[in-house]
A and B are shown apart, each in its own frame.
Chain A
Amino acid sequence: MTKPVPRSVVEGFYKALASADFATLDPYLHEDVVWTISGPVDVLPFCGPRHGKELVLKLLDRDIPVFLEKRRLIPSAMLIDGDRVAVFGKLMASRGDIGRRISYHIAQFVRFENEKVVEYVSLIDSFDAVEQVLGKQITAPGSIRAGDGELVAI
């Protein structure tokens, strides 16, 4: 474990992230940051890992906004323990092209090194996120959803 991160630094990072002010966010990112969003890359191309500050800033500034606009994290919990931070909450956004509002659960695990984010991993309720982003129900070939009256064979 590296030295503990002060709560003020964590709050500053999240404030910069929320404001989409990338000049302010820049100093919070380690040059070698690894930023991973779990999820199906072929459906949600912003998922997957990004290595290095430049790619992470591009992800936040350009890649994600193509899909999701006006992103806003509504945290239900923020935990700080040494150099590690965990945030749970709901991500609210909209699809600008059709104006649909989207919200799904998200968990973020962040590790700081010298008060900079060196590792970020987020898990999202990706099934729910895909259905909302695409605006379509997901099906599996040959299966029947239990909601349709029968349990899928698993």
Chain B
Amino acid sequence: MNKPVSRNVVDAFYKAYAARDADKVAPFIHDDVEWTISGPVDFLPFCGTHRGKANILDLIRHGVPRVLRTYSFVPETIVIDGDQVAMLSRQSARRTADGRAICYRVANIMRFRDDKVIENFSLIDSYDVVEQVLGQQLMVAGGAGAGNGGLVAV
């Protein structure tokens, strides 16, 4: 384990990250960071694994805003244990294409090294996010949801 990260550092990072201000986030990102967002890359192009500080800052500046523009990122829970931090947040955004409002929860698990994020894994309720981003209900090929009257056979 690396040295523990202080709550002050986590709070400062969160404030910069919530504002989606890449210049203010930059000092908290390790050069060798690995940043993963779970979800279907073919529907949500910002998902997947991104490596290196420059790529992460580009993701914040350009990658995510191509799809949605976040205007609120509110923490529900922040858990700090040694060099690891887990955050549960509610993210509110607007689709870049038409301004439609989107809201979902995000979980982040991060590891800090020398007060910088060296590893992040973001987990989202990806089915819900894809439906909101596409603005339509998803369909399971050849299947029916329980809400359609027939319980899916699983």
Q: Which residue numbers of A lie inside 8 Å of B, CB to CB?
A: 38-43, 45, 67, 76-81, 84-86, 88, 95, 97, 105-107, 109, 111, 121, 123-131, 133-134, 136-143, 145-148, 151-154
Bound state CA distance, A128 and B39, in angstroms?
7
Chain A interface mostly helix, strand, loop or mixed?
mixed
Q: Are B79 and A85 within 8 A (Cβ)?
A: yes
Q: Are A138 and B141 within 8 A (Cβ)?
A: yes
Q: How many residues of B contact A (CB 8 A)?
A: 52
Q: Are A123 and B140 within 8 A (Cβ)?
A: no
Q: What are 16 A-B interface contacts by the 8 Å CB criterion? A: A38-B105, A42-B148, A79-B85, A95-B154, A123-B107, A129-B127, A131-B140, A134-B140, A136-B141, A136-B142, A137-B140, A138-B130, A139-B139, A140-B43, A141-B136, A141-B139
Q: Known pairs A43-B146, A147-B42. 20 more at Cβ < 8 A?
A: A38-B128, A76-B109, A80-B79, A86-B86, A88-B86, A88-B107, A105-B123, A107-B86, A107-B123, A111-B77, A123-B105, A126-B127, A127-B39, A131-B140, A133-B154, A137-B141, A138-B138, A139-B141, A151-B45, A154-B134
Question: In residues 64-116 of chain B, which contact A (Cβ within 8 Å)?
Answer: 67, 76-81, 84-86, 88, 95-97, 105-107, 109
Bound state CA distance, A127 and B148, in angstroms?
18
| A126 surroundings in chain B (CB, below 8 A) | 125-128
Q: Are B42 and A152 within 8 A (Cβ)?
A: yes
The contact string, 1 if C-beta is below 8 Å from chain A, for chain B 113-154, is: 000000001011111111001101111111101111001111
- Inter-chain CB contacts under 8 Å: number: 165
CB distance from B67 to the nearest CB of A (A): 5
Bound state CA distance, A126 and B42, in angstroms?
15
Residue of A nearest to B97 (CB): A154
Q: Are B127 and A130 within 8 A (Cβ)?
A: yes
Q: What 4 pairs between A and B have smallest CB-CB spacing?
A: A42-B147, A86-B86, A107-B107, A79-B81
Residue of A nearest to B121 (CB): A88
